[in-house]
Amino acid sequence: MEYTNLILEQNGAIAVLTINRPKALNALNADTITELSTVLDELGRDSSVKVVILTGSGEKAFVAGADISSMKEFNTLEGRRFAQLGHATFRKLELLSQPVIAAINGFALGGGCELAMACDIRLASETAKFGQPEVTLGLTAGFGGTQRLPRLVGTGLASELLFTGDIIDAQEAYRIGLVNHVYSSETLMEEALKLANRIAGRAPKAVQLSKSAIQRGTNMDLDNAQAYEAEVFALTFSTQDQTEGCTAFLERRKPVFEGR
């Protein structure tokens, strides 16, 4: 399918999805979020895709936020609809069966930081900048920032960022656990592809079930989360890859996983 504001490329088992509105620093308007929702359905159905990398077009921005020009004239109802569209789409991203790596190549502000936080793993370039500057615009974070940021970095640091709207650099984002690694701009995509390929070489169903246990389990109490993990673990015994993985270990050879 053709998209106006997105580029979808496939490199072996890895899909690279690029938000492509560089003139607006890849800001998210409703059309872009709707396209994102559609492409996620497409990716979720495609068993040849084992890992997705999400990035922004150009050298300056991952995503510089929700599109301020489209939000300026919203009434309450339109604001609610926009937030609901964002929430539904970002949750779809978070629950996509395949893992998603955010390759954050510049500004990740407001909705852009929230988009990155809905990914499973965040890698940043040295030039990346993060923040939730909504309060400087008279807004609150509207795409999950008040919920995902505290879960990732703790309520104290999240409150400071959400109350001040301060922008932090990649090293600070690394220090507080918002990103896993920081790379030079030149090597960011190479490193993202390396990590994606490492994950793609593991048993796909086991990776997907691990993602499900993490994403669903962290929002449950421990007893229910453990019960869910037990179900997920049990399910792996219905896969051929489990037999292959354990057999290969015992035969001292590399496993050949087929995603079944």
Closest by CA to 170, choosing from 215, 116, 118, is 116
Site residues for ligand DAK, window 68-107 (CB under 6 A)?
68-69, 79, 82-83, 86, 107
**Nearest distance in Å: CB 214, ligand DAK:** 25
Distance of CA 108 to the CA centre of its chain: 12
Question: Which listed range, 133-141, 172-180, 220-228, 247-255, lies at the site for ligand DAK (CB under 6 A)?
Answer: 133-141
> Is residue 62 part of the contact set for ligand DAK (CB under 6 A)?
no
> Is residue 188 part of the contact set for ligand DAK (CB under 6 A)?
no
> Is residue 111 part of the contact set for ligand DAK (CB under 6 A)?
yes
**DSSP characters over 57-96:** SSSSEEE--B-HHHHTT--HHHHHHHHHHHHHHHHHHHT-
Question: Which residue is catalytic, options 35, 78, 126, 134?
Answer: 134
What does DSSP assign to residue 28? B
Question: Which residue is catalytic, options 59, 78, 94, 114?
Answer: 114
Residues 7-46: x where in contact with ligand DAK by CB under 6 A, - otherwise, as a string: -----------------xx-x-------------------
Residue 9's beta-bridge partner residues? 16
35 tagged catalytic = no
If one counts every other C-beta atom within 10 angstroms of the C-beta of residue 86, the result is: 23
Lookup result for tokens 């990914």? 119
Q: Which is nearer to ligand DAK, 23 or 45 (CB)?
A: 23
Give me 88's structure tokens: 């539904």
Cα atoms found within 13 Å of the Cα of residue 118, Cβ hemisphere only: 26
Helices 155-164 & 145-153 angle (0-180, nearest 10): 140
Pairing of strands 100-104, 121-125: parallel
134 tagged catalytic = yes
Question: Which listed range, 60-68, 154-162, 172-180, 207-215, lies at the site for ligand DAK (CB under 6 A)?
Answer: 60-68
Chain contacts with ligand DAK (rule: CB under 6 A): 24-25, 27, 64-69, 79, 82-83, 86, 107, 109-111, 133-134, 137, 139, 141-143
